[in-house]
Chains A and B, each alone.
Chain A
């Protein structure tokens, strides 16, 4: 191994560190850009019976309602979440969800149970979940099966 190779081996770790810092800055900058990603339901959605999953790749949100409290549980921590109940005339009632024990769990009392608790009842919902500059949106129907 000649002196130039030895010198190159000594310089290489510094280049690797600069590369690591540069890549980190680039990816962080990219993550800050607002992205809009649509979530779709996985199979049948029944929020009242705790059977409604929205997904986009590895990101999933479970939407459920227990005693008038509508809760969402996500696979990644959220910055904020808002649920909209949309009636037949397309009028929306927004429900900003509050964080529970961790940013994976969000909930709020809603009137969903009053309008969609009967068997066969269907209701339109919209959800906006924000994660570090990215927005996950979804428009879906819940239909109570039992």
Chain B
């Protein structure tokens, strides 16, 4: 029971980290900080615009695989059945 509780707490921690990064990348870099970031160019594109269009999606994909890998380790740590 204690193991399940700890497993769930660590899982929740990972989810909140993912959501915080999701918010920071999509709203933070793509909307709130778009003007200062647009002063920087990345491959000819304004960086703020690039984050809103593509960068955030790449980050989301990265987050999915990162979350999957971390959860895999968590499963091994707690010998979860899967």
Instruction: Enumerate chain A interface residues (CB-CB to B < 8 A).
Output: 1-5, 8-9, 12, 15-16, 19, 22-23, 26-27
Which residues of chain A have C-beta atoms less than 8 A from B30's C-beta?
A: 23
User: In the assembly, what is the distance between CA of A36 and CA of B49, in Å?
Assistant: 24
Please state if A5 and B65 are interface contacts (CB–CB under 8 Å): yes
B49 shortest CB reach to chain A, Å: 13
Please state if A12 and B60 are interface contacts (CB–CB under 8 Å): yes
Instruction: Pull 13 A–B residue pairs with CB atoms less than 8 Å apart, ordered by A.
Output: A1-B68, A2-B68, A2-B72, A2-B75, A2-B82, A3-B82, A4-B68, A4-B71, A5-B68, A8-B63, A15-B60, A16-B60, A23-B30
User: In the assembly, what is the distance between CA of A26 and CA of B68, in Å?
Assistant: 31
Chain B binding surface SS class: helix
Not counting A12-B64, A26-B31, a sample of 7 additional A-B residue pairs whose C-beta atoms are within 8 angstroms of each other reads: A4-B67, A4-B71, A5-B64, A5-B65, A5-B67, A9-B64, A19-B27
Please state if B26 and A23 are interface contacts (CB–CB under 8 Å): yes
B7 at interface by CB-CB < 8 Å: no
User: In the assembly, what is the distance between CA of A12 and CA of B26, in Å?
Assistant: 13
CB < 8 Å A-B pair total: 38
Instruction: Enumerate chain B interface residues (CB-CB to A < 8 A).
Output: 22, 26-27, 30-31, 60, 63-65, 67-68, 71-72, 75, 82
User: In the assembly, what is the distance between CA of A19 and CA of B82, in Å?
Assistant: 31
Give me the 4 closest cross-chain CB pairs, A-B, nearest first: A5-B68, A4-B71, A8-B64, A4-B68
B58 shortest CB reach to chain A, Å: 13
User: In the assembly, what is the distance between CA of A9 and CA of B62, in Å?
Assistant: 11
User: In the assembly, what is the distance between CA of A20 and CA of B64, in Å?
Assistant: 19
Which residues of chain B have C-beta atoms less than 8 A from A19's C-beta?
A: 22, 26-27
Which residues of chain A have C-beta atoms less than 8 A from B67's C-beta?
A: 4-5, 8
